[in-house]
């Protein structure tokens, strides 16, 4: 299969270089239920993953990396745009409530994998980020400095304490997950997680706000085929438990990756390859997050 890590990395670099010359996009309205219903009023999924918001988010084209804002009133994701060769272009999109209607707005060409901090104040985009301004809009893109600026990061997430968990793509198409704590207002030198976590091709971490669990995707022995989604729970002594595969309801022989859990703890979002090994179509799925509690070790 075409290596998905290389796809994500190269697209991110190419689209960043093209960002300055990008055309402006207009907002598109969607026939979605009223704002009082979170998740666009979509019927909640059960234990079987379902495509999220068909026609608005999930389409016949390529969408991935979905993440809901902490207030659950907006949904950010990356999608493919254009026709023919132009479909290789990708953009960062948000669907939110504006002018009393649900609209999607293009934030920019893709510059990384989106993640919003638990306090809703920062939109991380791999090694770049935007900050929420006093007007409620996002600032211009800024770059992370030392000790992150020279690391090939595909996805960076943050806990409520500000601890970063991120992946590091390597030239041999493997990857490791590292973390960096915020100590006295500065980030410490990133440290590798255990060999059990990094025993395979480990990418796209999601750290729980309270740091009680870590979700990531990996292709390793005992999986269901291509990349699967795993979870590791923090132990009493502070170490991380053995990764647990989320099972065949979520993982398939295809590629599943880039998972996140909503701020209310109810749903798990992830991306799945719906095409062939040419990755013609990736869609965003959601599923009841109760799967996490069923896997959590009993005290």
Q: What is the mean pLDDT of each run of 10 residues along the chain (299 residues)?
A: 43 39 47 66 94 92 95 93 71 85 86 96 97 94 94 97 95 91 95 91 96 96 92 94 96 96 98 80 96 91
Distance from C-alpha of 119 to C-alpha of 135, rounded to nearest angstrom: 16
Q: Report the pLDDT value the prediction gives residue 14, as an integer from 0 to 100.
A: 36
The reply to whether omega before 298 is within 30° of 0 (cis) is no
The reply to whether omega before 26 is within 30° of 0 (cis) is no
Distance from C-alpha of 130 to C-alpha of 201, rounded to nearest angstrom: 28
Residue from 299, 122, 119, 113 nearest 212 by CA: 299
Using an 8 Å Cβ cutoff, are 223 and 217 in contact?
no
Sheet holding 175-180, edge to edge: 156-158, 164-169, 175-180, 191-192
Q: How long a stretch of residues is the chain?
A: 299
Q: Where are the alpha helices (DSSP H) in the chain?
A: 4-18, 290-295
pTM of this structure: 0.88
Structure tokens at 92: 């960062």
Q: Report the pLDDT value the prediction gives residue 113, as an integer from 0 to 100.
A: 96
Distances (CA, A) of 113 to 21, 100, 153, 188: 20, 28, 9, 22
Q: Report the pLDDT value the prediction gives residue 98, as an integer from 0 to 100.
A: 74
Report the half-sphere exposure of 77 (CA within 13 A, side-chain side).
Answer: 31
Structure tokens at 214: 């870590």
Quote the domain boundaries for residue 106: 4-295
Q: Report the pLDDT value the prediction gives residue 19, as an integer from 0 to 100.
A: 40
Using an 8 Å Cβ cutoff, are 257 and 212 in contact?
no
Distance from C-alpha of 160 to C-alpha of 141, rounded to nearest angstrom: 22
Q: For residues 218-248, b (16+ Cβ closer than 10 Å) or e, as one string?
A: bbeeebbebbbbbbbbbeeeeebbebebbee
Q: Report the pLDDT value the prediction gives residue 4, as an integer from 0 to 100.
A: 44
Q: What are the φ and ψ backbone dihedral angles of 142, each rounded to 5 degrees? A: -120, 160
Supply the DSSP symbol for 84.
Answer: G
Distance from C-alpha of 204 to C-alpha of 201, rounded to nearest angstrom: 10
Q: How far apart are the first and last CA of the chain?
A: 40
Using an 8 Å Cβ cutoff, are 259 and 215 in contact?
yes
- Count of domains forming the chain: 1
Residue 122 maps to which CATH number?
2.115.10
Q: What are the φ and ψ backbone dihedral angles of 54, each rounded to 5 degrees? A: -55, 135
């Amino acid at each position: 299969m075409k290596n998905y890590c290389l796809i994500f990395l190269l697209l991110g670099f190419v689209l960043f270089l093209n960002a300055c010359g990008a055309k402006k996009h207009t907002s598109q309205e969607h026939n979605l239920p009223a704002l009082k219903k979170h998740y666009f009023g979509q019927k909640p999924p059960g234990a079987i993953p379902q495509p999220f918001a068909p026609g608005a988010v999930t389409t016949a084209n390529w969408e991935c990396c979905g993440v809901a804002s902490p207030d659950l009133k907006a949904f950010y994701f990356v999608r493919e745009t254009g026709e023919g060769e132009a479909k290789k272009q990708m953009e960062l999109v948000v669907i939110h409530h504006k002018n009393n209607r649900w609209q999607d707005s293009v934030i920019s060409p893709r510059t990384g994998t989106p993640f919003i901090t638990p306090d809703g104040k920062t939109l991380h985009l791999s090694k770049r980020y935007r900050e929420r301004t006093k007007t409620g809009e996002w600032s211009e893109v800024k770059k992370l400095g030392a000790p992150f600026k020279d690391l090939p990061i595909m996805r960076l997430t943050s806990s409520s304490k500000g601890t970063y968990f991120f992946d590091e793509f390597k030239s041999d198409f493997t990857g490791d997950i590292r973390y960096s704590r915020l100590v006295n207002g500065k980030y410490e030198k990133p440290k590798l997680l255990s060999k059990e976590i990094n025993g395979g091709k480990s990418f796209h971490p999601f750290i729980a706000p309270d740091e009680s669990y870590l979700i990531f995707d990996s292709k390793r022995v005992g999986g269901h085929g291509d990349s699967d989604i795993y979870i590791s729970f923090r132990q009493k002594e502070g170490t991380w438990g053995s990764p647990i595969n989320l099972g065949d309801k979520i993982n398939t022989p295809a590629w599943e990756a880039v998972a996140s859990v909503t701020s209310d703890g109810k749903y798990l979002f992830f991306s799945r390859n719906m095409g062939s090994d040419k990755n013609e179509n990736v869609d965003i799925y959601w599923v009841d997050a109760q799967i996490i509690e069923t896997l959590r070790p009993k005290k």
